[in-house]
Chain A
Amino acid sequence: MTITILRSHNKQEEAYPLEDKERTLLKALTDIKATQDASLTFSAGCRASVCGTCAVRVNGKEQLACAYKVQDQDVIEPLQYHEVLRDLKVNKSLTKKTLQRSTAWLQTFQEASLTPKDEKFSEKQSDCILCDACYSACPVYAVNPDFLGPFALTRAYRYSSDKREADTKTLVDNVQSNGVWDCILCAECTLACPKGIDPKTDILMLRSLSIEQGYTDPTFVQQSFGFDPNAGF
């Protein structure tokens, strides 16, 4: 079989022949590096879908290289909307800033007893491995590079829904600008997530919390077509 990898030094797709046997894309990449081309650069760590470093795009779809079985004619590219550092290795430090801007952490701790049901409630959201697959799949970034994005908003929701969080309001306040209302609910993030997390639904939940806190959908206001509720007064 042959796979094609987008290289950064010449911005060309380079084809690599591989022996016809079943292997993960990550194994294919390490084999190519060890035997064909030592300059091929990619990020990898645990091989077990938990460190989140090896996400790439295969035929236009986000995949963890360690969890994807490579196929003949596959085209491998780096994640979208990231600065390419070299070949398949991208700069994730900027995308991590979305976590800082959305303050996706426990704001104010309060003592609370958690039942197994409570734990289950945010179990999926806390499975996130920060692989950036959802970020790469999100079409909002094509028009708004400042969007907080799926993984940061899922994480903000994870904390806002935790009984030990005493200050949900601050979290909700911090996801308004370039946040929950900028999502177009296309669910590409949900399809891309290798952990089965559903950021789209989490964003909808954050919208509900926002409305509870007195926020309104700014796009809805813009769509009022000149209707003046004060009737000119």
Chain B
Amino acid sequence: MPKRACYAQDYTGLKILHTLYDSCLKAEIDFLDDHYLLNLIVDEGCIKGAIFLDSHTGEIIQINAKAVVLATGGYGGIYHGYTTNSYGSTGDGIAVVLRAGGAVSDLEFVQFHPTALKRSSILMSESARGEGGYLVNSEGERFIDELKPRDEVARAIFRQEQEGKEVFLDVRHLGEEKLMHLLPQEVALCKLHEHIDPAKALIPIKPVAHYSMGGIEVNSSLEVQGIQGCFAVGECANAKVHGANRLGGNSLLEITSLGRFAGDHAHQYTRSASNKEANSTQRDKDQKAIEAIYAQACTLNFYEKQQALGKLMYEKVGIQRENTQLLQAMEEVRAMQEMKEQMGIADKSPIHNQNLIEYLEFSSALLLAPMIISSALARNESRGAHYKIGFEKQDDKHFAKHHIIQWKREI
């Protein structure tokens, strides 16, 4: 069978990333490690730079820029505990764009990967099925064509789970040698996290949040709608290349092609951008906001709420949606937003305050969650990753359109 995508073992993304990193070092590009993006500086609809929290000192830093490219990742981390994403994938860049008056779109389209390890939500790569792995239930039956799109496979697994059956990935017939050649990392992860050798035993799996198709609304130059000179690329952006249901490997295609494209457009923009520099209004505002977080009493542990939010989103805004459940989820998220006044940070250190960063990440999650829910509520049809009970068919007449959210800019 011809291969559809270029790959390097089960490590394609890692190899691209490190080759890029080496090239950046060669080009003597500066990295500001441990700088957390707080907000964009926008003046009369044009980008002027961004504000960062420098973890090394706790200072609020302003960096002026004629153009900005956002590459801040997706929001799958909102499904805390039920995602393959890293802890920090809470859609911070998307929240920042919203606050700056830019637009975001199609947030209801969250892709669930069919095969994550059951206990740890760690990803078992698509290649396991691509190479001929089977999905079987606890009765040993195959129940779906494993090569169907991710949404169909994830839903089929979800239904098995609803019937009380466990689901496993079976790659035993591929043999140890082939497994070690094609999936060495996955084999190691199975042994470590599930105590099983995939060459000899079934791999217990579940579908979890994996990729956000929705994100920052950009035009064909990848410029953010509503913020001139600000560009967005990668999972944080909604460049509309994945439709409602991304194919495995295509996010890597997106970043390798559109990354350069975004850089070129940002560079072009700087040639005509105004030289007027930003004042310190945004910086002062962010300084006060961070001081307020330090001063806030901490009577409610936000880490508990972070887990509760992840579970709520997975159960009620997950693989299969239903309007009454979405409305319940909305109420619960609103209640959490109100409780936020009681949540603060217990760690008051100015330097390397991971507690503060995680609080800010949770704030992004709590800001975006209601928008994912309202977008899902508004889409009374099923399309790609968005599947709704009672509206199981695709309805192009009413819903062949994007859901765009944009706030009125504060003056």
Q: Is B301 positioned at the interface, with any CB of A under 8 Å from its CB?
A: yes
The interface residues of chain B, by DSSP majority, are classed as loop
A44-B189 in contact (CB<8A):
no
| Chain-B contact segment, one of A102-110, A139-147, A184-192, A222-230 | A102-110
B192-A67 in contact (CB<8A):
yes
B26-A105 in contact (CB<8A):
yes
B87-A105 in contact (CB<8A):
no
B56-A48 in contact (CB<8A):
no
A33-B355 in contact (CB<8A):
yes
Q: Is A41 positioned at the interface, with any CB of B under 8 Å from its CB?
A: yes
B188-A49 in contact (CB<8A):
yes
B304-A50 in contact (CB<8A):
no
From A24, A33, A48, residue with most partner B Cβ within 10 Å = A48
Bound: A126/B21 CA distance, A: 12
Q: Is A200 positioned at the interface, with any CB of B under 8 Å from its CB?
A: no
B18-A39 in contact (CB<8A):
no
List chain B residues, Cβ under 8 A from A159: 22
Q: Annotate A14-51 by CB proximity to B: 1 below 8 A, 0 otherwise.
A: 00000000001000000001110011011011111111
**Other-chain residue from A46, A51, A104, A127 in contact with B22 (beta carbon distance below 8 A):** A104
Q: Say whether, besides A51-B86, A104-B22, A155-B22, A123 and B354 are in contact (CB < 8 Å).
A: no
For the complex, count residues of B whose C-beta is within 8 A of A: 40
B345-A38 in contact (CB<8A):
yes
B120-A47 in contact (CB<8A):
yes
B352-A39 in contact (CB<8A):
no
B355-A39 in contact (CB<8A):
yes
A49-B354 in contact (CB<8A):
no
Q: Is B185 positioned at the interface, with any CB of A under 8 Å from its CB?
A: yes
Bound: A34/B72 CA distance, A: 25
B48 smallest CB distance to A (angstroms): 28
Which interface class (under 10, 10 to 19, 20 to 34, 35 or more) fits A? 35 or more
**Other-chain residue from A33, A44, A48, A103 in contact with B123 (beta carbon distance below 8 A):** A48
Q: Is B14 positioned at the interface, with any CB of A under 8 Å from its CB?
A: yes
A-B CB pair tally, cutoff 8 Å? 86
B303-A33 in contact (CB<8A):
yes
Q: Say whether, besides A50-B185, A85-B56, A105 and B23 are in contact (CB < 8 Å).
A: yes
List chain B residues, Cβ under 8 A from A104: 22, 25
Q: Annotate A115-134 by CB proximity to B: 1 below 8 A, 0 otherwise.
A: 00001000100111110000
B260 smallest CB distance to A (angstroms): 16
List chain B residues, Cβ under 8 A from A119: 8
Bound: A129/B21 CA distance, A: 11
Bound: A34/B298 CA distance, A: 13
Q: Is A86 positioned at the interface, with any CB of B under 8 Å from its CB?
A: yes
**Other-chain residue from B56, B88, B301 in contact with A34 (beta carbon distance below 8 A):** B301
**For residues 116 through 131 of chain B, which have their beta carbon under 8 Å from a beta carbon of chain A?**
120-123
List chain A residues, Cβ under 8 A from B353: 41
A99-B122 in contact (CB<8A):
no
Q: Is A100 positioned at the interface, with any CB of B under 8 Å from its CB?
A: yes
Q: Is A207 positioned at the interface, with any CB of B under 8 Å from its CB?
A: no
A61 smallest CB distance to B (angstroms): 16
Bound: A130/B120 CA distance, A: 23
Nearest CB in chain B to that of A31: its residue: B303
Q: Is B253 positioned at the interface, with any CB of A under 8 Å from its CB?
A: no
List chain A residues, Cβ under 8 A from B22: 99, 104-106, 155, 159
Q: Is A93 positioned at the interface, with any CB of B under 8 Å from its CB?
A: yes
List chain A residues, Cβ under 8 A from B15: 126
Q: List 19 A-B contacts (CB under 8 A).
A: A45-B88, A47-B121, A48-B123, A49-B188, A50-B185, A51-B86, A67-B192, A69-B192, A85-B34, A85-B351, A89-B352, A93-B33, A100-B25, A105-B23, A119-B8, A126-B8, A127-B14, A129-B14, A130-B18
Q: Which 6 A-B pairs have the closest CB atoms?
A: A34-B303, A38-B346, A86-B352, A39-B347, A105-B22, A105-B26
